[in-house]
Amino acid sequence: MNIQIRERPEAASSSSVKTAIADCDIHPARATQTELYPFLAKRWHAHLETFGVHAYQGMMGGPPYPKAQPNASRRDAYPPEGGPQGSSLSFMQQQHLDPNNVALGVLNPLNTGQGIRNQDLAAAICSAVNDWQIEKWTSKDSRLKGSVVVANEEGQAAAAEIRKRAGDANFVQVLLLSRNVEPLGQRRYWPIYEAAEEAGLPVGVHAFGFGGNPITASGWPSYYIEEMVGHSQCQQTALASLVLEGVFERFPKLRMVMVEAGFGWAPSLAWRLDKVFERLHAEVPHLRRKPSDYIRDHIWWTTQPMEDPERRDHLFQTIEWIGWDKLLFATDYPHWDYDEPSRVLPAGVSDANKQAFYLDNARKLYGLS
């Protein structure tokens, strides 16, 4: 977060930094435009330089909603050797992994083949990004684990990429973005879930992406803050789609992680789904359980940006509705709305819940004990 308003005694913050934590949302960046080229067939180098990536939005470069600062990242996170924030392993170690005692860092590359209209290019870039994660990050620091990125709109190609990486200890999950050509429960995406379930990899759904749809059900809003806040609404709808299409009936071992979209909305969405399901279950007879049951059993939530109510009991009640066992701590390093590990939880949480929140839930979900 940018501004820390609450005053806290120093003692409270220094005690919790010492314990090892998992950071389930770290964004590695490329130092240069061409850093992927060694992993990408020659034909694509020329293609990219001539045509660019031809995404599901209009900008050749830069986001459609300009961020509040370059690369949506902390101004103090530029590596001393140059390049954008998040592009240097040694600086990431020095600024984040070492001082915060990050025992497990899950990499979520955002600038990949997802959201590219040319599906051959999308698949090539995703595969290259996966090779690049091993080469530049996970093979050099065993605390870091990668996410298999896939050409999301081409289910079969995506499934092939997941199968190629299955069993590779460099990767702990498959990564999708929340905004796609269709809601994520649609059958075009099922080969992804099938392959992920088969490989025993959870599927992370990170807020973001452009899939060609206006980012509200009433068209395109004006401001970056609307896109930021709106990630949670896109995620809610994507999750409703996953539940109502019966993805968790078809893939009963599938586990999914909602990344960087908040978690405070989960109880209300689950209650609404349950209530409407009571009335309309005849339309979705493929569901054999209440929507909230699927959510409780199949969904995990990363914590950043941490819910920040005025009163801490409101936060605790919300977490109790979701379950302390379902939250995965994340900082979003190096992005501007980074959550500082020592300041994220108010006082009054039991040691067992803290341990689950900061580390154990992630270790268990990702099979790293």
Using CB under 8 A, which residues numbered 277 to 306 contact another protein? 277, 279-280, 282-284, 305
- Helices (H) then strands (E): counts for the chain: 13, 8
Read off the amino acid at residue 26. Answer: I
Closer Cβ to another protein, 117 or 140, answer by number: 117
Q: Considering the rule CB under 8 A, would residue 153 count as an interface residue with another protein?
A: no
Indicate which single residue of 220, 288, 352, 368 sits in contact with another protein (rule: CB under 8 A).
Answer: 220
Q: Residue 251 belongs to what H/E stretch?
A: none
Helical spans, DSSP H, in 166-290? 190-199, 224-244, 247-250, 266-280
Using CB under 8 A, which residues numbered 179 to 218 contact another protein? 179-186, 211-218
Retrieve residue 337's tokens.
């709305």
Q: Considering the rule CB under 8 A, would residue 232 count as an interface residue with another protein?
A: yes
Indicate which single residue of 16, 118, 119, 233 sits in contact with another protein (rule: CB under 8 A).
Answer: 233
Using CB under 8 A, which residues numbered 77 to 96 contact another protein? none
Q: Considering the rule CB under 8 A, would residue 76 count as an interface residue with another protein?
A: no
What 69-74 contacts at long range (C-beta under 8 Å, 24+ apart), as own/partner pairs, is 69/336, 71/29, 72/335, 72/336, 73/334, 73/335, 73/336, 74/333, 74/334, 74/335, 74/336, 74/338
Site stretch for another protein (CB under 8 A), options 30-38, 39-47, 49-57, 274-282 = 274-282
Using CB under 8 A, which residues numbered 315 to 344 contact another protein? 317-318, 321, 336-337
Closer Cβ to another protein, 293 or 308, answer by number: 308
Q: Considering the rule CB under 8 A, would residue 63 count as an interface residue with another protein?
A: no
- CA–CA separation, 203 and 356 (whole Å): 20
The nearest distance, CB 353 to another protein, in angstroms, is 19
Site stretch for another protein (CB under 8 A), options 14-22, 33-41, 241-249, 360-368 = 241-249
- CA–CA separation, 145 and 168 (whole Å): 10
Site stretch for another protein (CB under 8 A), options 36-44, 145-153, 250-258, 308-316 = 308-316
Helix, strand, or coil here: 57?
Answer: coil
